[in-house]
Amino acid sequence: MKKKLEQIFQQKVTGKVVLVTGASSGIGETISKKLAAAGAHVLLVARTEEDLIRVQKEIESVGGKASVFVCDLNEMEQIDTCSQQVLASVDHIDILINNAGRSIRRAVHESLDRFHDFERTMQLNYFGAVRLVLNILPHMMKRKDGHIINISSIGVLANATRFSAYVASKAALDAFSRCLAAEVHAHKIAITSVYMPLVRTPMIAPTKIYNYVPTLSTDEAADLIAQAIIKRPKSVATHLGRLASLTYTLTPSLNNILMSVGFRLFPSSTASVGKKEKLNIIQRAYAKLFPGEHW
């Protein structure tokens, strides 16, 4: 079955031009390599040129095709410049994967003097992604073809505690995507949100308790994106993500209780002061009940 899906994926992306943001590490790097191995021309976008060139060389060393575009996606002018450079170098873009993101794990009551956390998270996760879409979309509309994949979070479905800044930014992108999907339907452009569970990437490394909870590998995360490319659905989510969304819709008070228990079980991070964080038996059991959730 897996081999068959890989063959279908290859048929879908061979000869396609795919732009991936946050392509220098983690999920972005892994899906970029997967796409290139399947025959796509991958446009690698991130802010660190050295890391992008490393990924490009690794792709080219096994016969793949990749181009590097350095861009700080926090900066709107840089996104505009990068978009112009990209569109000048390729005839079109078939698939845009908005993967770059920033996550902050901090309770609201611990953020009273940190409004900048909300601003910078929204700047990258929402405004940066939207700005890039606004630049690429007219070209997809002109061709009447295209696929925009926005990497969202399981936290949007489950209302993850301590992640209000992160979840709010992803929820904003989610709402934007739903509105846009109807507007571009007649242009044969698909919009997909991938509600990604917790993935073991450099982004979560500072939170030491994540060393002891179930997470996806970047390969498994890339498989979810591949699923989105193959089927072009409105959304892709794990079983837990769909269940979390259902419980909030049908019994929001139950969802609130479950999230509240998790909030109390998993304290704020002490990584900043160098304290090791390990889980007790109850914490481990709870984490296994909700694999991939952000605590």
Write the pLDDT tens digit of every residue in 132-183: 999 999 999 999 999 999 999 999 998 888 889 999 999 999 999 999 999 9
pLDDT computed for residue 274 by the predictor:
40
Of these residues, 166, 195, 210, 286, which one is catalytic? 166
pLDDT computed for residue 160 by the predictor:
86
| Residue range 213-245, pLDDT digits in tens | 556 789 999 999 999 999 999 999 988 888 888
pLDDT band with cut points at 50, 70 and 90 for residue 205: low
pLDDT computed for residue 12 by the predictor:
95
What is the domain extent for residue 270? 16-289
The reply to whether 187 falls in a domain is: yes
How many beta carbons lie within 10 A of that of residue 67, not counting itself? 18
pLDDT band with cut points at 50, 70 and 90 for residue 51: very high
Q: b/e string for 165-176 if b means 16 or more Cβ within 10 A? A: bbbbbbbbbbeb
The reply to whether 11 falls in a domain is: no
| Residue range 62-113, pLDDT digits in tens | 999 999 999 999 999 999 999 999 999 999 999 999 999 998 889 999 999 9
| Residue range 250-285, pLDDT digits in tens | 888 888 888 788 787 777 765 433 455 677 777 677
For the entire predicted model, the pTM comes to 0.89
How many beta carbons lie within 10 A of that of residue 254, not counting itself? 11
The reply to whether 230 falls in a domain is: yes
Is 248 known to be catalytic? no
pLDDT computed for residue 247 by the predictor:
84
The reply to whether 9 falls in a domain is: no
Element housing 223 (H / E):
helix 218-231
**Which CATH number characterizes residue 76's domain?**
3.40.50.720
The reply to whether 7 falls in a domain is: no
Any alpha helices (H) in 62-191, and if so which ranges? 76-89, 115-122, 129-143, 154-158, 164-184
Half-sphere exposure of 261 (CA within 13 A, CB side): 12
The reply to whether 5 falls in a domain is: no
> How many percent of the chain have pLDDT more than 90?
65
pLDDT computed for residue 271 by the predictor:
46
**Domain count along the chain:** 1
